[in-house]
Amino acid sequence: MNIVELNDVSFAYDDSGPTILTDVNLALFEGELVLVSGRTGSGKSTLLRMFNGLVPHFSGGTLRGDVVLKGESIVGKPPRELADFVGFVPQDPLSSFVGSTVEEELAYGMEQLGLDQQTMRRRVEETLDLLGIAHLRRRSVRALSGGQQQRVAIGAVLTTHPKLLVLDEPTSALDPMAAEDVLATISRLTQDLALTVVIAEHRMERVVPFVDRIAIVENGRVRIGDPAEALIESPVAPPIVELGRLAGWRPLPLSVRDARSQARTNPLTLGKPEPRATHTGECALSARDIVVQYGTKVAVNRVDVNLNRGEVLALMGRNGCGKSSLMWALQGTGRRTGGTVDVDGDDPADLKADEARMLVGLVPQTAADLLYLESVADECAAADQHAGAEAGTTRALLDRLAPGIEQQKHPRDLSEGQRLSLVLAIVLSAEPEVVLLDEPTRGLDYPAKHALAEMLADLAHRRHAIMVSTHDVEFVAQVADRAIVMADGDIVSQGLAADVLAESPAFAPQVSKILGPEWLTIEQVQAARESGASDA
Amino acid sequence: MSQSTPELTKPTPRKVVLPRELHPVAWWVWALGMAAAASMTTNPWILLTIVAVAAIVVEFRRGDAPWALSFGFYLWFGLIIVVIRVVFRIIFGGAMGPDDPVLFSLPSIPLPEVARGIELLGDVTLGSVLAGLYDGMRLAALIICVGAANSLANPRQLLASIPPALYEVGTALVVALSVFPQLADSVKRVTKARRLRGEPGKGVSATRRIVIPVLEDALERSMTLAASMDSRGYGRAGDTPLRDRWLTGTLMIVAMIGLAVGSYGFLDGTAPRILAWPMLGIGVLFAVASMWAAGKRVKRTRYRTIRWQFGEYSAVGSGLAVAIGLKFAGAEHVGVMYPPVDSWPELLPVVILIPLIGALPAILTPPALRDEDTMEGE
Cα dist from A53 to A397, A527, B10, B228, whole Å: 42, 48, 62, 12
Neighbours of A191 (CB within 10 A): 11
Neighbours of A44 (CB within 10 A): 24
pLDDT tens, residue by residue, B148-207:
998 888 877 787 777 777 777 777 777 777 777 778 888 888 888 888 887 666 667 778
The residue with greater pLDDT, B109 or A495, is A495
pLDDT tens, residue by residue, B116-139:
666 677 777 788 888 889 999 999
Contacts of B24 (CB under 8 A, 6+ apart): B153, B154, B155, B157, B158, B161
Chain-centroid distance, C-alpha B49: 19
Cβ-defined contact of B369 to A138 (cutoff 8 Å)? yes
Is 80 exceeded by the pLDDT of residue B9?
Answer: no
Of A80, A120, A331, the CB nearest to B230: A80
Cβ-defined contact of B225 to A96 (cutoff 8 Å)? yes
Task: Determine contact, residues A427/A362, Cβ cutoff 8 Å.
Answer: yes
Vertex A493 angle, CA A492 and A496, to 5°? 165
Contacts of A79 in chain B (CB under 8 A): 227, 230-231
CA nearest to B146, candidates B43, B75, B60: B75
Alpha-carbon distance A328 to nearest alpha carbon in chain B (angstroms): 10
**Kind and range of the H or E run holding A468:** strand A465-469
Is residue B133 classed as helix, strand or coil in its secondary structure?
A: helix
**Optimal mutation site among B156, B192, B196, interface A, most CBs of chain A within 10 A:** B196
Q: Label residue B308 by pLDDT band (50, 70, 90).
A: confident
Task: Tell me how far apart the alpha carbons of residues A340 and A523 are, in angstroms, rounded to a whole number.
Answer: 38
Strand order in the sheet with A360-363: A360-363, A434-438, A465-469, A312-316, A482-487, A490-496
Task: Tell me how far apart the alpha carbons of residues A473 and B149 are, in angstroms, rounded to a whole number.
Answer: 52
Q: Does B207 touch chain A (CB under 8 A)?
A: no
| ipTM attached to this prediction | 0.87
Task: Tell me how far apart the alpha carbons of residues B320 and A308 are, in angstroms, rounded to a whole number.
Answer: 73
pLDDT tens, residue by residue, B342-357:
777 777 788 888 889 9
Cβ-defined contact of B304 to A157 (cutoff 8 Å)? no
Looking only at the bridges linking them, the beta strands covering A434-438 and A338-342 are unpaired
Look at residue B2 in the predicted model and tell me its pLDDT.
Answer: 46
Task: Classify residue A139 by its DSSP letter.
Answer: S
Cα dist from B137 to A200, A260, B38, B347, whole Å: 62, 80, 9, 16
Look at residue B373 in the predicted model and tell me its pLDDT.
Answer: 47
Q: Does A90 touch chain B (CB under 8 A)?
A: yes
Contacts of B378 in chain A (CB under 8 A): 135
pLDDT tens, residue by residue, B43-68:
889 999 999 999 999 988 888 777 78
Q: Does A103 touch chain B (CB under 8 A)?
A: yes
| Nearest residue on chain B to A104, alpha-carbon basis | B303
Cβ-defined contact of B197 to A370 (cutoff 8 Å)? yes
Contacts of B172 (CB under 8 A, 6+ apart): none
Look at residue B1 in the predicted model and tell me its pLDDT.
Answer: 44
CB-neighbour burial class of residue A173 (10 A; exposed 0-12, middle 13-18, buried 19+): buried
Largest CA distance in chain A: 75
Task: Determine contact, residues A360/A348, Cβ cutoff 8 Å.
Answer: yes
Is residue A527 classed as helix, strand or coil in its secondary structure?
A: helix
Mean pLDDT, chain B, whole residue set: 81
Task: Tell me how far apart the alpha carbons of residues A348 and A328 are, in angstroms, rounded to a whole number.
Answer: 11
Phi, psi of B177 (to 5 degrees): -60, -40
Contacts of A52 in chain B (CB under 8 A): 231
DSSP codes of every residue in B65-129: SGGGGGHHHHHHHHHHHHHHHHHHHHHH---SSTTPPEEEEEEEEP--GGGTT--EEEEEEHHHH
Q: Does B228 touch chain A (CB under 8 A)?
A: yes
| Nearest residue on chain B to A155, alpha-carbon basis | B232
Residue range B76-97: average pLDDT? Answer: 84
Amino acid at the residue A422: L
Q: Does B206 touch chain A (CB under 8 A)?
A: no
The rounded percent of chain B whose pLDDT value lies above 70 is 86
Cα dist from A370 to A383, A386, A390, A418, A453, whole Å: 11, 13, 21, 14, 22
Task: Tell me how far apart the alpha carbons of residues B173 and B18 are, in angstroms, rounded to a whole number.
Answer: 30
Largest CA distance in chain B: 101
CA nearest to A86, candidates B227, B10, B42, B224: B227
Looking only at the bridges linking them, the beta strands covering A283-294 and A297-308 are antiparallel
Task: Tell me how far apart the alpha carbons of residues A326 and A259 are, in angstroms, rounded to a whole number.
Answer: 38
Buried b (16+ CB within 10 A) or exposed e, B288-318: ebbbebbeebeebbebeebeeeebbebbbbb
Contacts of A282 (CB under 8 A, 6+ apart): A308, A309
Looking only at the bridges linking them, the beta strands covering A2-12 and A62-69 are antiparallel
Q: Does A60 touch chain B (CB under 8 A)?
A: no
Cβ-defined contact of A78 to B378 (cutoff 8 Å)? no
Look at residue A376 in the predicted model and tell me its pLDDT.
Answer: 93
Cβ-defined contact of B300 to A112 (cutoff 8 Å)? yes
Contacts of B240 in chain A (CB under 8 A): none
Q: Does A13 touch chain B (CB under 8 A)?
A: no
**Optimal mutation site among B232, B236, B297, B302, interface A, most CBs of chain A within 10 A:** B232
| Nearest residue on chain A to B185, alpha-carbon basis | A142
Vertex A437 angle, CA A436 and A440, to 5°? 170
Q: Does B370 touch chain A (CB under 8 A)?
A: no
CA nearest to B81, candidates B153, B154, B150, B146: B146
Amino acid at the residue A511: V
- The residues of chain A scoring below 50 in pLDDT are 536
Of B197, B231, B300, the CB nearest to A79: B231
Q: Rounded to the nearest 10 degrees, how much is the dihedral formed by the CA atoms of A463, A469, A470, A476? A: 30
Q: Label residue B6 by pLDDT band (50, 70, 90).
A: low
Task: Determine contact, residues A485/A321, Cβ cutoff 8 Å.
Answer: no
Residue range B254-259: average pLDDT? Answer: 87
Is residue B155 classed as helix, strand or coil in its secondary structure?
A: helix
Look at residue A536 in the predicted model and tell me its pLDDT.
Answer: 47
Amino acid at the residue A161: H
Is 60 exceeded by the pLDDT of residue B10?
Answer: yes
Cβ-defined contact of B197 to A362 (cutoff 8 Å)? no
